[in-house]
């Protein structure tokens, strides 16, 4: 056990650090001899025959699915819905004529997701499981599988599986987009590589994030993450990560929605963390952050190079905006890790949580 951890105090930190290597490995695994990204043609054919994608997942994988929807819709123009697996079974949405199901699951064993797969199989619909575990239940029972190649994820709080899921969805979307004639020249091979470099530079500078964790989160009982568009999806994941390991009650909010109710919770020194990677909405998100500051919030801005302002506490390197989630999530993982560490929690095994939940 300890041997695998090497010099790391916890698996969570090791797995955060592994993310650049995981992305680079994925790029090798999904590349053909002509150095182009590729996936099994049967999967592409099946999705090209479908009229709508349904992503079904739980927890962190659900949050990766929210990002995946944007990637699939932008690159393939196939309408995509994302569903929490535990809700899908009894709150089944109206299905299109030719649905294609994508199950996102690090473990491939989540019972809530499996019960949906049992139903879609009974209805004869094609499905793709994107998982880290070859031979897992979801992988065996679905039509197709794409692997995350992230290596075992031991910490209960998922980090590298989230970024690997998004990268696989980006590769998948670009390959389908090219075959649909929507994309002339693929950029994901280059741009996921650039994202891997960006992640490397963020993890290399983790001490500065440790200091911010002490400054912002050491005594707080609650916290907020805000963002718009893609940053909103990451805000949900960032909030879940902080909750899971630090036990701080944290909410992720669409930045524009805060003023419609939740801003009532802002008190003197409440931490509010804004994620800013989207040019078209950056100004609005900054405005929302300012609104909380005016009410006493202890505000922290994490922005992407090119959109940064001098007052921003964390600035991540510029990446393709479609892949901004890969980079902007890293400081939030590190904030969660250090906050948990400083509070003396068992970082890898937070109370009440299991790595894989095999009951509904």
For the record, the structure tokens of 281 come out as 């909405």
For the chain, report the end-to-end CA distance as a whole number of angstroms: 30
Q: Figure out which of the listed residues 19, 86, 107, 120 binds ligand G6P, where binding follows CB under 6 A.
A: 107
105 binds ligand G6P (CB under 6 A): yes
| Closer Cβ to ligand G6P, 216 or 225, answer by number | 225
| Closer Cβ to ligand G6P, 48 or 353, answer by number | 353
285 binds ligand G6P (CB under 6 A): no
| Closer Cβ to ligand G6P, 80 or 86, answer by number | 86
User: What 3-state class would DSSP assign to 227?
Assistant: strand
**x-or-dash pattern for ligand G6P, window 54-73, by CB under 6 A?**
----xxxx------------
252 binds ligand G6P (CB under 6 A): no
Q: Figure out which of the listed residues 76, 80, 113, 324 binds ligand G6P, where binding follows CB under 6 A.
A: 113
- Active site (annotated) includes residue 355: yes
106 binds ligand G6P (CB under 6 A): yes
**x-or-dash pattern for ligand G6P, window 153-182, by CB under 6 A?**
---xxx------------------------
333 binds ligand G6P (CB under 6 A): no
With residues binned 3-state (H G I as helix, E B as strand, rest as coil), the percentages for the chain, rounded to 5, are 50, 15, 35
Pairing of strands 80-84, 52-57: parallel
What is the closest distance, in whole angstroms, from the C-beta atom of residue 11 to ligand G6P in the complex? 13
19 binds ligand G6P (CB under 6 A): no
Query: Based on the number of CB atoms within 10 Å of its own CB, is 275 exposed (0-12), middle (13-18) or buried (19 or more)?
Result: buried
Maximum separation of any 2 CA atoms in the chain, in Å: 58
Q: How far is CA 311 from CA 146, 231, 302, 307, in A?
A: 42, 19, 10, 12
Helix (H) or strand (E) holding 114: helix 111-122
What is the closest distance, in whole angstroms, from the C-beta atom of residue 348 to ligand G6P in the complex? 11
For the record, the structure tokens of 43 come out as 């999967």
Stated length of the chain:
360
Alpha helices in 136-268 (DSSP H): 137-141, 160-179, 188-204, 206-217, 230-246
What is the closest distance, in whole angstroms, from the C-beta atom of residue 119 to ligand G6P in the complex? 17
What is the closest distance, in whole angstroms, from the C-beta atom of residue 183 to ligand G6P in the complex? 28
Interface with ligand G6P (CB under 6 A)? 58-61, 105-107, 110, 113, 156-158, 353-357
- Name the residues annotated as catalytic: 355
């Amino acid at each position: 056990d300890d041997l695998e951890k090497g010099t790391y105090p916890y698996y969570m930190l090791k797995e955060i650090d592994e993310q650049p290597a995981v992305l680079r490995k994925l790029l090798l695994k999904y590349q053909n001899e002509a150095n182009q990204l590729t996936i099994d043609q049967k999967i592409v054919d099946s999705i090209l025959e479908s009229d709508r994608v349904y992503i079904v997942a739980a927890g962190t994988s659900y949050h990766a699915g929210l990002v995946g929807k944007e990637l699939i819709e932008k690159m393939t123009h196939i309408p995509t819905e994302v569903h929490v697996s535990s809700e899908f079974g009894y709150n089944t949405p109206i299905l299109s004529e030719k649905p294609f199901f994508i199950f996102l699951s690090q473990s491939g064993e989540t019972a809530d997701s499996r019960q949906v797969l049992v139903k879609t199989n009974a209805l004869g619909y094609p499905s793709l499981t994107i998982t880290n575990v070859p031979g897992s239940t979801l992988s065996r029972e679905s039509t197709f599988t794409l692997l995350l190649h992230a290596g075992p994820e031991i910490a209960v709080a998922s980090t590298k599986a989230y970024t690997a899921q998004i990268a696989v969805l980006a590769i998948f979307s670009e390959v389908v987009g090219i075959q649909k004639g929507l994309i002339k020249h693929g950029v994901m091979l280059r741009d996921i590589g650039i994202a891997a470099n960006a992640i490397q530079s963020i993890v290399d500078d983790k001490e500065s994030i440790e200091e911010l964790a002490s400054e912002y989160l050491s005594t707080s009982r609650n916290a907020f993450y805000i963002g718009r568009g893609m940053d909103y999806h990451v805000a949900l994941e960032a909030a879940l990560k902080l909750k899971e390991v630090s036990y701080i009650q944290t909410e992720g909010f669409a930045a524009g929605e805060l003023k419609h109710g939740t801003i009532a919770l802002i008190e003197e020194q409440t931490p509010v963390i804004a994620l800013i990677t989207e040019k078209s909405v950056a100004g609005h998100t900054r405005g929302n952050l300012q609104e909380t500051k005016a009410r006493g919030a202890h505000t922290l801005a994490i922005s992407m190079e090119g959109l940064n302002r001098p007052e921003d506490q964390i600035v991540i390197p510029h990446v393709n905006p479609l892949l901004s989630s890969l980079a902007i999530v890293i400081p939030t993982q590190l904030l969660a890790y250090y906050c948990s560490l400083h509070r003396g929690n068992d970082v890898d095994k937070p109370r009440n949580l299991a790595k894989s939940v095999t009951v509904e």
